[in-house]
Amino acid sequence: MPLITSADAYLVDIPVETERTDAVQAFLKQETIFVELATDDGLRGTGYSYTIGTGGRAVLSMLRDHLLPRLVGADARNVEGLWRDLFASTRATTVGAITSLALAAADTALWDLRCLRAGEPLWRLAGGHRRSVPLYDTEGGWLHLSVADLVEGALGAKRAGLRGVKIKIGKPRVEEDVERVAAVREALGPGLDLMVDANQSMTYAEARQRAHALEPYGVHFFEEPLPADDVQGHRELARSTSIPIAVGESMYSLGQFRDYLQRGAASVVQADVARIGGITPWLKAAHLAEAFNVAVCPHFLMELHVSLVAAVPAGTYVEHIPQLRAVTSTELTVEDGHAVAPDTPGLGLDWNRDAIDDLRVS
């Protein structure tokens, strides 16, 4: 019986690799919360979650003060039971972002242990549907970039063989967004997917106007047009446009995904493993999407999501935003426009421990 003998958490600030802006915020740094679990059979599992600049210390406190002490002495193999126990112990703060992020850091460490013990990579142990998945680029599509910069980024992604490009929208005038989308579509041609992302910045009226204006450009999906808690607004918008509506990066429980899918308010599910509370609930959201015949294209965390998207039949795309190169020794493998899931046992992340120590927050 592999019992957990120690459970530790710490915070690391990873600087962003390039300036990143959208219609509501700037991504200034990645507060990365690590969890390390050791078992009495000599294994050590590492998990993590993140914020984009605020709340990292609150997540760390939730782990240290409430969650991790419950794991010491537990059987590390009982991942589902441990997730449920941790969740139940935080009833006063669920469903909420801080709790979900803390749960995710612990849960991903448990999954790392599970895969290491089995001698299997995450993509296989989580389902094993396929080894590689299509990759689309977001790194060249930030809102502060000029039209010329957007076109350059799109052409670079095309030359690299990526299967799609996403750009941020939400400029003050519809015409500005249309100009940007039209220029990128012309650069890409008809053979690549083009996505847009409003980051919850619009009213229903604004989003409906944007969607109608962008329909001629073959938009693959329209991401987070409205605030994430506006299920009815997304439902009405989905009914008013031919562009598929994508949601999920700002949703923190399986029930929220159920509500969207039951009401026909989403055509693409973008569950983020950190924000939904870990791999355990992420897989449930992915299988729920499959039951509704809806694609899964998760938000961010490409280094981890590649294995999860590869694991499930509904997995469709991985989003290209490099962010862990400062603390890892290897990079995401890309072949013919597809991200290839790591085949080494565990989560598949080759952590650079020295670099992590250098960036640790005291």
Q: Are residues 49 and 176 in the same domain?
A: no
What does the pLDDT read at residue 19? 87
What does the pLDDT read at residue 20? 93
Q: Is 29 a catalytic residue?
A: no
Name the DSSP class of 99. H
Q: Are residues 190 and 309 in the same domain?
A: yes
Say yes or no to pLDDT of 326 above 80.
Answer: yes
What does the pLDDT read at residue 94? 87
Q: Are residues 146 and 263 in the same domain?
A: yes
pLDDT band at 28; cut points 50, 70, 90: confident
Q: Is residue 222 in some structural domain?
A: yes
Q: Is residue 263 in some structural domain?
A: yes
| CA pair distance 24, 252, nearest whole angstrom | 19
Q: Is residue 346 in some structural domain?
A: no
Q: Are residues 168 and 228 in the same domain?
A: yes
Domain interval for residue 102:
4-119+353-359
Over residues 183-201, the pLDDT tens digits come to 999 999 999 999 999 999 9
Task: At 229, give phi and psi (nearest 5°).
Answer: -85, 5
Q: Give the CA dihedral 299, 302, 303, 304, nearest 10 degrees.
A: 40
What does the pLDDT read at residue 211? 98
Q: Is 299 a catalytic residue?
A: yes
Q: Are residues 214 and 334 in the same domain?
A: yes
Q: Are residues 157 and 271 in the same domain?
A: yes
State the CATH number of the domain containing residue 84.
3.30.390.10
Over residues 66-103, the pLDDT tens digits come to 999 999 999 999 999 999 999 999 988 988 999 999 99
Domain total for the chain?
A: 2
pLDDT band at 50; cut points 50, 70, 90: very high
pLDDT band at 48; cut points 50, 70, 90: very high
Q: Is residue 45 in some structural domain?
A: yes
What does the pLDDT read at residue 110? 98
| CA pair distance 134, 163, nearest whole angstrom | 6
| CA pair distance 298, 9, nearest whole angstrom | 25
Which among 299, 305, 320, 338 is annotated as catalytic?
Answer: 299
Q: Are residues 114 and 131 in the same domain?
A: no
Q: Are residues 138 and 48 in the same domain?
A: no
Q: Are residues 274 and 140 in the same domain?
A: yes
Q: Is residue 181 in some structural domain?
A: yes
Which among 168, 220, 305, 338 is annotated as catalytic?
Answer: 168
Chain mean pLDDT for the chain: 97
| CA pair distance 143, 111, nearest whole angstrom | 36
Q: Are residues 130 and 112 in the same domain?
A: no
Answer whether 264's CB lies under 8 Å from 241's CB: no
Q: Are residues 231 and 335 in the same domain?
A: yes
Distance from chain centroid for Cα 240: 27
Over residues 109-139, the pLDDT tens digits come to 999 999 999 999 999 999 999 999 999 999 9
Degrees, nearest 5: CA angle 198-202-51: 50
Q: Are residues 107 and 187 in the same domain?
A: no
State the CATH number of the domain containing residue 225.
3.20.20.120
Say yes or no to pLDDT of 362 above 80.
Answer: no
What does the pLDDT read at residue 18? 87
